[in-house]
Structure 1
């Protein structure tokens, strides 16, 4: 279990994230030969479980970019789910059992059984690629109607006691489901590694985006109490910060300005940071658990982290996710640096700050300061 995979610098790792539907549209041999012979790819990061078009569907940007010169030039009516055949033995301790994809194009097809043998013939590696949250991810062709039985029972709860639209990672059934799903793939298939992506918004993220934060579900409350946290004090503090953020977004004036008022609310309610810290540790716990799970099942199997691009562009997240720490529970990392997203993400992240705590500052000057703090070499802000 303590063994770590140490990549050989002489080995080239040329990976690509690829959707299951591509192999159905174009044929397994055609896709693999094209990727290997024309592009030099030797690692397939295959979306095996997702309700996100970006991971398992066809092009989601065809309205802007047009269709590529290969594949099927029409939208994929993706329903999402598992594109391999889950073994019921692994899901006995969770409510979430029936999550096999029901897409007509993939009916009766196990994508891992389909791709792995042909990839092996060509000396190509196969890494299942998974991303949390699996449900209700904003944009990127996400499925908005999820028909999984019992899923509604594991949802987050916000500070006002309302059900949110993502499952609670503190819920034992949801957490066990993730453990089971990964153990199922690691033990039963001849895979070469696994790539995990964690893209959850923290309470501070949610607040600055104008949302009422969570998670105050029964499972999360119980976990916090076990850690000695005053849950109700944290909830009241977060409500105070929510009220400030809503007022800032609405354009209300503050006697001492938005930034000083933000600091005042934070200092008067330090429980906000206690809850943020609790959430952060629970989130990192999940990454660490999955790393350990993979190593327990197959000690030599590489476990990689696909690191969210918001971690590079958000002041709070940059402080929360240091690179050195992540190397303690990952054999390698893949920072998200997609060229078509970087500018948009920076624009969006700065927009959240400028709409709230930096509302009183000139956007050009504020963007320049934030860029310098984050070590970004960006062009001047133009709005």
Structure 2
């Protein structure tokens, strides 16, 4: 092993030993740099390159969408980034017209020396044999003047990961969860090992992590889109690492757990359609919050712990390759939940970010917003009708004039909603780092709900740039996108005089 690699491996232990310091997020490193031209990225899984060929696929991305950055999904156990089209959805106008099965894991080679200090070792995805998405794509992309970013997400399948319980979060009832604990040193070591491996072993231009979680309070009130019940099943994390760390900060984890159990009973009763008393729903909710201020205290503790993990991964990557562009996917709730917006303070996030990708998805955003409103109305806002609650959210989010609740599922959100959230993000970072909004293309919706059209993508892309974006990220994954809709982004770029 050469000396430079020894130095990197030795440094993997450093962030774990500096846990208290990580609570003070890393200051931006001087190697930050804005891209020389507009950033046009597209998220894509390894399956698409195997199905359609690396060279042909890259050529298509450039020609049709003006793409100059490949966001290669290097690690996931979920079908949202990996695999072909989701089951039950129409196949796109390219690639095999049949579903596949997802195992998941790392779609790049795993170099054992990087995992010597990790309880999780080889998580190589078996789906595609020895295909290495980074080794295969990076040189071919560079030959076309395209950059490659490694995209990885928190989407685990504990059945396929030996020792996962040693990095997992623990819920209020002592059950092992399906995600990692941000304060568990084994979890930090594991994630840092993967990042160090990818950045050291490949000539990457950037990195983006998807941590699509929102903390215990937001999960409890049903701030989700889609079915609510499974999302409430794990209110985390109350492991020994979290309890000890919180105690050091003066926060009583046992008291917080007691409060969340009462909170859970209250929500369960509401969802069982227990009749409301004379006080309605909000006043009993707020009384619980004041009786147990540890509920919100623990939520804030969770948010800070997530940010410390961001800082930990940022520091790990930048120590190896200072010029690497490291940023974060901010999940779609940023466009609909005032609570999630408040948690994700862009001014704080920029301290350990080279860029941010707020998910401003407006096509699937209509059906998702309607689901979200019905979920939260069923819990803490029973005093409002769903329509009244939507109007209140529009006022809080600066989205007046968007479709009614009845119209949302079929019309989606307007392109202006993309502009509004983009401009807010740009203002939030004071223009100090690039904002690359996520533009949704054919993200699955129900059969009778909004489907993406080329003009939707064109208008959303134009709106993002009008809001001050330095680029866009075409999302979620190429395998579910129609080429005709990707071409909508290409049309927008041509209108602005931008080329790949």
Shift of 1:212: 5.0
Would the alpha carbon gap of residues 115 and 88 (structure 1) be closer, same or farther in structure 2, given more than 3 Å must change? same
Pick the aligned partner of 1:152 from 141, 165, 176.
165
Name the residue aligned to 1:57.
Answer: 83
Quick check: 2:171–2:177 contact (8 Å CA) kept in 1?
Answer: yes
Q: Aligned partners of 1:233, 1:39: CA distance in 2, in Å?
A: 53
Q: Deviations over 1:59-102 (max 9, x none)?
A: 116x33x2122111111212100011111111111110020001
Q: Aligned partners of 1:123, 1:357: CA distance in 2, in Å?
A: 51
Aligned to 2:238, the other structure's residue is in SS state coil
Quick check: 2:83–2:102 contact (8 Å CA) kept in 1?
Answer: yes
Q: Aligned partners of 2:64, 2:327: CA distance in 1, in Å?
A: 26
Name the residue aligned to 1:6.
Answer: 33
Shift of 1:227: 2.2
The answer to whether structure 1 residue 202 and structure 2 residue 202 are counterparts is: no
Q: Aligned partners of 1:90, 1:336: CA distance in 2, in Å?
A: 32
The answer to whether structure 1 residue 230 and structure 2 residue 252 are counterparts is: yes
Give TM-score, length-normalised by structure 1.
0.92
Aligned to 1:203, the other structure's residue is in SS state helix
Pick the aligned partner of 1:135 from 156, 161, 165.
156
Q: Aligned partners of 1:287, 1:177: CA distance in 2, in Å?
A: 14
Shift of 1:348: 2.3
Q: Aligned partners of 2:303, 2:403: CA distance in 1, in Å?
A: 32
Name the residue aligned to 1:266.
Answer: 289
Q: Aligned partners of 2:320, 2:371: CA distance in 1, in Å?
A: 40
Quick check: 2:214–2:340 contact (8 Å CA) kept in 1?
Answer: no
Name the residue aligned to 2:490.
Answer: none
The answer to whether structure 1 residue 79 and structure 2 residue 100 are counterparts is: no
Quick check: 1:18–1:45 contact (8 Å CA) kept in 2?
Answer: yes
The answer to whether structure 1 residue 340 and structure 2 residue 363 are counterparts is: yes
Pick the aligned partner of 1:162 from 172, 175, 199.
175
Name the residue aligned to 2:413.
Answer: none
Q: Aligned partners of 1:185, 1:268: CA distance in 2, in Å?
A: 47
Name the residue aligned to 2:264.
Answer: 242
Name the residue aligned to 1:296.
Answer: 319
Quick check: 2:74–2:133 contact (8 Å CA) kept in 1?
Answer: yes
Name the residue aligned to 1:217.
Answer: 239
Aligned to 1:112, the other structure's residue is in SS state helix
Pick the aligned partner of 1:89 from 86, 90, 113.
113
Shift of 1:211: 3.6
Name the residue aligned to 2:69.
Answer: 43
Q: Aligned partners of 2:175, 2:255: CA distance in 1, in Å?
A: 18
Moved more, 174-183 or 240-249: 240-249
Q: Aligned partners of 1:217, 1:18: CA distance in 2, in Å?
A: 35
Shift of 1:254: 2.6
Name the residue aligned to 1:101.
Answer: 125
Name the residue aligned to 1:186.
Answer: 199
Q: Aligned partners of 1:223, 1:76: CA distance in 2, in Å?
A: 43
Aligned to 1:170, the other structure's residue is in SS state coil
Q: Aligned partners of 2:140, 2:191: CA distance in 1, in Å?
A: 28
Aligned to 1:257, the other structure's residue is in SS state coil
Shift of 1:306: 1.4
Between the two proteins, the alignment pairs up a number of residues equal to: 369
Q: Which has the higher contact order (CA 8 A, sep 6+)?
A: 2
Pick the aligned partner of 1:68 from 88, 92, 99.
92
Aligned to 1:156, the other structure's residue is in SS state strand
Which blocks of at least 5 consecutive residues in structure 2 are unaligned?
A: 1-27, 223-231, 408-500
Q: Aligned partners of 1:215, 1:324: CA distance in 2, in Å?
A: 25
Quick check: 2:78–2:104 contact (8 Å CA) kept in 1?
Answer: yes
Quick check: 1:186–1:294 contact (8 Å CA) kept in 2?
Answer: yes
Name the residue aligned to 2:309.
Answer: 286
Which blocks of at least 5 consecutive residues in structure 1 are unaligned?
A: 137-144
Name the residue aligned to 1:142.
Answer: none
Moved more, 285-294 or 146-155: 146-155
